[in-house]
Amino acid sequence: MRKVLQKWKLTTKNVSLRDYPVPLHEKRRLREEELELIRNSNTKFWGPWSTCGECLCVRSTLDRLHQVARAFKLWERALIAISGRFGSGISSYFSFLRFLLLLNLVSSVFIFGMLVVPTLFFTKDDVHQAPPGSDDPCISPSNNTESEGIFIDLFTGQGFLRDSILFYGHYFKGTTDGSSFNIRLVYLLVPLVYLLLCGLYLMRRTAQGIATRRVRSRDYKTRISTKVFSSWDFCAQGVGMSLLKQQSLSNEIKSHLAEELWLLNLEGLSLGRRVHIIFSRVLINSVILALLGCAFYSVHLAAVVSQDYQGITPILALFTQYLVPIVISLVLILLPPIFMLLVKLEGHSPSAELTLTLIRCVFLRLGTLGIFFFSLGQKILCYGSEETSCNVCGHNTQFKCWETSVGQEFYKLSVFHFLHLTMDFLLLQAPRSFLVSRVKWRVVVWLGKEKFSLPQNVLDTVYGQTLVWGGLFYAPLLPLLNIVFIFLTFHIKKFSLYRLCDASQKLVRVSTSRILFYFVLLLGLMTTFFPLIYMVTSVRPSRACGLFTDYSTTWEYVQNSTRSAMAIKDLSYVTSDLFPFCLLGIFSIMLTSYISRVRQYEHIIEELKDHLTYQIQDKIFLVRTLKEADDAPGQEMDHQEHQSDTP
Amino acid sequence: MQPCTMWNLCAAGKTESCELPGSEKVYLLKQDCTFFTRKEILRLHARFYELAPNMVPMDYTNDPEVRLPLQLIINMPELVENPFKERIVQAFSEDGEGNLSFNDFVDMFSVMSEMAPRELKAIYAFKIYDFNTDNFICKSDLEQTLNKLTREELEAEEVTLVCEKVIEEADMDGDGKLAFADFENMISKAPDFLSTFHIRI
């Protein structure tokens, strides 16, 4: 036993007693022995600290801290219950919701503490109204739509909300005149730094997830040995759930075998069949591109129409204002099922079908958002059109405070996204499950209850978070709103999972869903981050409201403040044309060296594997030869005895 | 004598100079040998006691040898739905038949908890999946594993095919069965192993 443990200690560093694979009474005995040794060897004050490498004190304190922290985690009990009943794949979706809640909380705390509190404290009453009688067309107040009642204002962001702390227009430069707290710098830098930090963190988690999967499984295909030994979720409890899990596991294994068969068949295809497959793929891809084009064009049209509405009845006005979110939601409801149907005709393997559909859905969602930005930019900042109204002020004079309008659009999108979720729950899922449980028509039975589709739910949540990030600069309190939305989403989804949905037949892997989540979140962040950088550095801020009325771009303020602070003329090299190319060259070299090292290591691993096989075969051969050599003298002796017996 | 707190237990050799109530002595010593805190170990003891109130003592000062039979343990709600419940209990029992003392009981849940490292879990997972306890996972062990996992929904030839594939993927020394080194190598490539191979109690 001592020898086993000594060997164990040599191979693993910092192994504590509880990591030893021996029964508990052995561990206790060993602990007594070690304590005895310590007691006898050194009785000075620093004795115990120097002989036990990591003092037990520190470790048990840290453990205690971990235990306490775990008790305070939000929704911990609920997550445990969900993972027990539905598996760890589905409970990972709910832990993603918790992660998003944390992200939004961090940003709200910063923004609230650094922006809202100073603004509320230092507000002078009418400093931020425009001085009356100014003739500048960019500043004089336009005849904006009046407030249409508090309820409708809540949904459109007009009226009392427009000038509140929710939107950009409320913050003005006079807030902290005379104190050393520079609110402009804070307003500019806090969202940018936050988004940058989020992006770096997400990049790191994505890279970790991909590295784990890539390194651990050598290629992107899951091995069947992994499926056999790590598919069964040992913490699943609940009566009858094991039957369901066993069915889904056998389905998964069957589909794995079917995929292997499909791959084998692929090699034996005739030329005619291959041409047919290529032709159908080209056709279907062009159909899908056409559908995407239609979707984007309809979003663009809706954006144009909604900005041009004139005074009509309030309800119709509300509907027109919400036209863009409605169109986007329709597009997102209709197109993914069509994609799922079309992809079956392309002749891919089953797992490739899923991945392809997912990629297309992600592209659809982010593309609609991008098109919306573009049409907004076209309307407000006159890109690509010949309108002369932008020549005077640098932006469309219809919008005196265009940042607030942009913020309102994001606000409306966010609110509608949440409303869509609630409507879906109330008007689609609940009646469907009610019907299925009460009515026994054939159509209804075939339709069945809603299945909890993890990828679609993840994409939905990521889309909601992307909206919040996009609008962060123009509506600083959007994360606070999103916290409320996420909290309600968690409970709605939990309720629908428990009561309204069928347990899904497909097993979902935690590692796959994690990569999906972080990667798509990162993509969403990048989709909003780069337009924001562009807006901050190249677009003229509105002169009628906000913090940067005197500057030609928002970023100019930072440049002005830092120019006198330190002599950073050298940093101008960073923005010159040559710098990105140099950076690109350096990154390419680094990437090439990493990839070649990876290939070399893979080659070495294969060689070592062969080496190991040969060694074992040599060993077997030697053992066999020895055995034969042992038997041979025995046989000779028998032969001699027999000979001596016979005469 | 002053009562024992965490701080004066840390320094070596101080266990005698502070006063421990008799039944708690055992739990404090166990603290470092498992991944559980004192409160959790006491809770485990309550669960252990519930399984057989007439057999399990409350006072452990004399270190009694009480073993509960297999049938009682596998009816716990955490284990009853698990197809490998008998093998799990047998892997942690000293006699290999599934009779667990309280030490073994705590050990079992400690190794299966989320805090145990991958290497430790791999050792016990190997013991669990080795049905004939010959220190190798051979083809018949794999067939039994598959049948338990899928409740015999797969056809016989599919089962054989899957077993052959698993051995082909994982066996490195070419002897047709998986030794512990092969198993550990394969598990190190499974990203989900740690999250599925744990039992919450």
Q: Do B174 and A616 touch (CB under 8 A)?
A: yes
Distance CA A52, CA A39 (A): 11
Task: Provide the percentage of residues in chain A whose pLDDT is more than 90.
Answer: 15
> Where does the pLDDT of residue B29 fall: very low under 50, low under 70, confident under 90, or very high at 90 and above?
very low
Answer for the pair B178, B56: CB distance below 8 angstroms, yes or no.
Answer: no
Say what percent of chain A tops pLDDT 70. Answer: 77
CB nearest to B200's CB, from A217, A235, A250: A235
Tell me which range, A66-70, A158-162, A413-417, is most confidently predicted by mean pLDDT.
A413-417
Cβ-based neighbours of A547, under 8 Å, separated by 6 or more: A171, A172, A173, A183, A184, A187, A188
Q: What is the 3-state secondary structure (H, E, C) of A155-169?
A: HHCCHHHCCCCCCHH
Instruction: For residue range A578-594, list pLDDT tens digits in order.
Output: 788 888 999 999 999 99
Using a CB-CB distance cutoff of 8 angstroms, which residues of chain B are in contact with residue A612?
172-173
Q: Which residues, listed in sequence order, are joined to residue A502 by a DSSP beta bridge?
A: A451
Q: How confident is the model at residue B128 (pLDDT cuts 50, 70, 90)?
A: very high
Average pLDDT of every residue of chain B: 79
Query: Which two structure tokens, joined as six digits, stand for B175?
Result: 């002897």
pLDDT of residue A469: 92
Average pLDDT across chain A, whole number: 78
Which pLDDT belongs to residue A13? 46
- Per-window interface: B 39-98 vs A, CB < 8 A: 77-78, 81-84, 94
Residues of chain A contacting B172 with CB distance shorter than 8 Å = 609, 612-613
Of A21, A217, A609, the CB nearest to B189: A217
For A568-632, the three-class secondary structure string (H helix, E strand, C coil) is CHHHHHCCCCHHHHHHHHHHHHHHHHHHHHHHHHHHHHHHHHHHHHHHHHHHHHHHHHHHHHHHH
Which residues have C-beta within 8 Å of that of residue A544, sequence separation ≥ 6?
A130, A138, A139, A140, A141, A400, A401
Q: Which of A503, A488, A527 is closest to A454 using CA atoms?
A: A503
Q: Which band of pLDDT confidence, cut at 50, 70 and 90, is reported for residue B21?
A: very low
Residue B56 φ/ψ, nearest 5 degrees: -90, 125
CB distance B129 to B141 below 8 Å? yes
Q: Which residues of B touch A237 (CB under 8 A)?
A: 77-78, 81
Helix axes A350-381, A454-470, angle to 10 degrees: 20
CA distance A120 to A122: 6
A130 versus A249: the higher-pLDDT residue is A249
**Is residue A450 classed as helix, strand or coil in its secondary structure?**
strand
- CA A64 to chain CA mean position, Å: 31
Whose tokens are 């294969």? That residue is A606
**pLDDT tens digits, one per residue of A49-62:** 444 444 455 666 77
Which residues in chain B have their CB less than 8 angstroms from residue A238's CB?
Answer: 81
- Which residue from A25, A229, A253 is facing B190, i.e. has the nearest CB? A229
Q: Does the beta carbon of B19 lie under 8 angstroms from any beta carbon of chain A?
A: no
Which H or E run includes B160? helix B156-170
Q: Which residue has the higher pLDDT, A59 or A473?
A: A473
B119 close contact with A: CB closer than 8 A: yes
CB spacing of A257 vs B83 below 8 angstroms: no
Mutate to test the interface with A, among B79, B108, B139, B150 (most CBs of A within 10 A): B150
pTM: 0.74
A237: nearest CB among B81, B174, B197: B81
SS3 B100: strand
Can you give the pLDDT at residue B126? 92
Task: Please give the span between the terminal C-alpha atoms of chain A, in angstroms, as a whole number.
Answer: 58
* Cβ-based contacts under 8 A for chains A and B: 184
B30 touches A at CB < 8 Å: yes
pLDDT, position B22 = 42
**ipTM value for the complex:** 0.76
pLDDT tens digits for range A185-225: 888 888 889 999 999 999 998 888 777 665 544 454 567 88
In the predicted structure, residue A488 carries a pLDDT above the cut 90: yes
Closest CA in chain B for residue A252: B150
